[in-house]
A and B are shown apart, each in its own frame.
Chain A
Amino acid sequence: MLVIYLPLLTLLAFSFNNSLSVGFPWRGFTLRWWEKFFSDPVALTAVKNSFVAAVAVAVVATLMGLGVAFPLVRRGFRGQNVLLSSLLVPIAVPSLLIGISLFSLLRVQLGLELSLFTLAIGHILVALPYSSLVLMARLIGFDRALEEAAQDLGATGFTTFRKITFPIIRPGIFVSMFLAFIISLEDAVIANFLVGSDLTVPMYVFGQLRRWEGLNTAMALSSFMAVIALAVACLFLIRAIGPRLRRPSKD
């Protein structure tokens, strides 16, 4: 299972390799590529862009998801099945087609400049089904009696939301944001079509891989992302095993 971490660790290891070619043989430890990465404005902008877009997508997709989740789960309405099916469409349609069709609409027909903004539009579209489904799932298991109890005790609509509804759906909101964040951060297909001169990390690496120049900067960048992922993983590990380590000192 941990095989998944293999490519990430390998990338990290090789980013220190003092060699122009990618891979073995090992020619000595060097921080050269990392220096190049941190001083490369294009690469750094790509990182910033990716994160900014991902955060925006996470927030917007979750808000929209909330907007659909409540009515769909709690109050039926005409056309709810149509809405539900349309929500699933972005998953069934290859991102390729979504990217192309949005490109056609936004660039060709509306004449908009491609940018991070257009990219966000595409990402939000793809993330929306996942956000909505997560939130709906969370709402279905929700016991409305709790809300009614609060209102019987005199809470207004807003207070009920704040103290009862929100804490219960909060995990769902986190999952939805996390999911949308990942979807946006790691997408390369839609970015291929919708990002103009603004670059995102996947696009940057993709471009470098296809062109064979400055490959090592891409390596450092990739390793950087890998490091972030590994750091998050370690964080989880520490949180889980940490308490266990603390116990001996208590005795």
Chain B
Amino acid sequence: MKLELKDDTTRRERELNIFRKMKKLVYYLRLFPAVFWLLVFLVLPLSVMFIYSFWTMVRFELIPTWTLKNYLDIFVKAEGLYIKLLFKSIGMATAVTLGAIALAYPAAYYISTRGGKYKYVLLNLIMTPYLVSWVITIFGWRMVIGYTGLVNTVLMSVGLISEPMRLWGNWMTVIFVLIVSWTGWLVLPIFVSLEKIDRTLLEAGEDLGASPLENFRKITLPLSMPGLLIATFFVLIPTFGEFVAPLLAGGTSGAMIGTAIEATFKRMHNWPFGSAMAFLLVAIALITSLVLIRKAGLRTLMESL
């Protein structure tokens, strides 16, 4: 009798185990679409492009030469034009990031401290212009600061200038447009991290005799750092590869590495070279991202969204 009972339990246990395993599988199945997507559409194509960067392109045909020439070419080709362009782009991207943060921080601070019940309305208002495409926004800016644009016409009719200023079509235009466009996007992460600061800490600071400025410097600023770093991540990295703005608004002096990469692919049909440049950019971007995210923490990244 005792032996029979033992057999029963073991079989049931086994059935239960299989059932549990199946449930587990079904649960994890929901990961499948995203994983599939990432693998097939991100990892696979990028790996292929990476491999291409080591090959050569001869008359529209890719030849598996396995060489480092493409990467070396970046430094050497056209008298170092490309490497200069790369540094210039990084510089411009940094300028844009600093500018955008400088504008976004006060705005976020204002909304966080004085927003009251209009906080979320203001945030929504800031985000709505992004419904309009990037290209269209640049188009609009052209109407404002272009040769025949709003600014010039107003200034001329008032008499401050006698001739329209050439504000459009150079590197400053690109930086300006980019800064103005990114500022709105940044207000959100900075706002979130400002909101999270425990107000009682500030009150404690006051009680201990700190002036508002000191309070800001010693409490608010350091505590909002993670949000600031995340904001930097969101602006800096994508701006490295920006090519719409330089293309439409940059003219000759405003070109960035993005325009060069696009031209290499579309017009010169030199895929390996373009790919090499792109991946060099990616490498720089990844290193920068790692540094930034390490310092800020993944949680802050998620919270800012």
Contact = CB atoms under 8 A, between A and B. Distances in A.
A66 B27 CA distance: 12
Interface in A44-72: 63-68, 70-71
Contacts of B149: 10, 23-24
Contacts of A65: 34
A91 B237 contact: yes
Interface stretch (B4-12, B204-212, B295-303): B295-303
B286 interface: yes
A93 to B, nearest CB: 5
A57 to B, nearest CB: 12
Contacts of B32: 67
Nearest to B239: A94
Nearest to A96: B241
B285 to A, nearest CB: 5
Interface string B239-273: 01111100010000000001001100100000100
Given A1-B107, A225-B131, A128 B241 contact: no
B48 A186 contact: no
Interface in B97-132: 107, 118, 121, 124-126, 128-132
A92 interface: yes
Contacts of A11: 136, 139-140, 143
A220 B141 CA distance: 15
Contacts, number: 239
Contact of B153 (A24, A98, A206, A219): A24
Contacts of B41: 102, 105, 121-122, 125
Nearest to A91: B237
B46 interface: yes
Given A1-B126, A105-B41, A140-B302, A132 B34 contact: yes
A96 B124 contact: no
Q: How many residues of A sit at the interface, in one of the four size bands?
A: 35 or more
Q: Is the interface of B mostly helix, strand, loop or mixed?
A: helix
Given A23-B147, A128-B37, A101 B128 contact: no
Contact of A88 (B49, B148, B289): B289
A8 B132 contact: yes
B42 A86 contact: yes
Interface string B206-232: 000000000000000000000000000
A140 B299 contact: yes
B129 A4 contact: yes
Interface stretch (B13-21, B71-79, B274-282): B274-282
B27 to A, nearest CB: 7
B133 interface: yes
B305 interface: yes
Contacts of B282: 92-94, 97
B241 A94 contact: yes
Contacts of A5: 129
Given A71-B30, A104-B49, A185-B133, A94 B281 contact: yes
Chain A to chain B: the 8 pairs with minimum beta-carbon distance, closest first = A94-B241, A7-B140, A23-B148, A101-B45, A137-B302, A67-B30, A240-B121, A202-B133
